[in-house]
Amino acid sequence: MIKDLPQNIVEDIAVAVALEKESVESKVWYVYIINLKQQAIENVLITSKGYGEKDGEQVKTSTLRHMIPLIEAGKSALIEPIDEQTFGLNNEYWISYYIGKDIYDKKFIFLPESIVDGNFIKLPVLNKVGVMIK
């Protein structure tokens, strides 16, 4: 039965952690979804959570859910702010969306310590610096 399900492969969708503001005291970071497709995506459902080990103990953050009705082709949408203290954890974003009547979903995971200066790029669409998973 599983073999009869369509293989809806997620392509041209990215999740990015972008540096918004920087001051001497702190940095402000936001997480975005970027639609690099040539068509809009609809009814975008996102769940986010952090988990891993910190100071020798297992840590889990709350699971957050977000709904974005529409992301146009070549556009982005803000998912949530993210605290630098969670960069040492796995930060997981599970994205589900529709194109027409077809549903697509994919899990994007920023591994511990992957959000560092050495991994920064200029993010497409956002024109900010940060880290992106495609």
Short-list 87, 92, 79, CA closest to 126:
79
- The tens digit of pLDDT for each residue in 68-85 reads 999 999 999 999 999 999
Cβ-in-10-Å burial (0-12, 13-18, 19+) of 11 comes to: exposed
Residue 18, domain extent = 2-133
pLDDT tens profile 81-121: 999 999 999 999 999 999 999 999 999 999 998 999 999 99
Whole-model pTM above 0.75? yes
16, pLDDT greater than 80: yes
**Residue 26 binned pLDDT confidence (cut-offs 50, 70, 90):** confident
Band the pLDDT of 2: cuts 50, 70, 90. Answer: low
- Domain CATH for 87: 2.60.40
What b/e string do you get for 94-129 counting C-beta neighbours within 10 Å, with b at 16 or more?
A: bbebeeeeeebebebebeeeebeeeebeebeebebe
Tally of domains in the chain: 1
Number of other residues whose CB lies within 10 A of the CB of residue 40: 15
Confidence of residue 8 (pLDDT cuts 50, 70, 90): confident
Residue 7: per-residue pLDDT: 78
d(CA 85, CA 43): 30
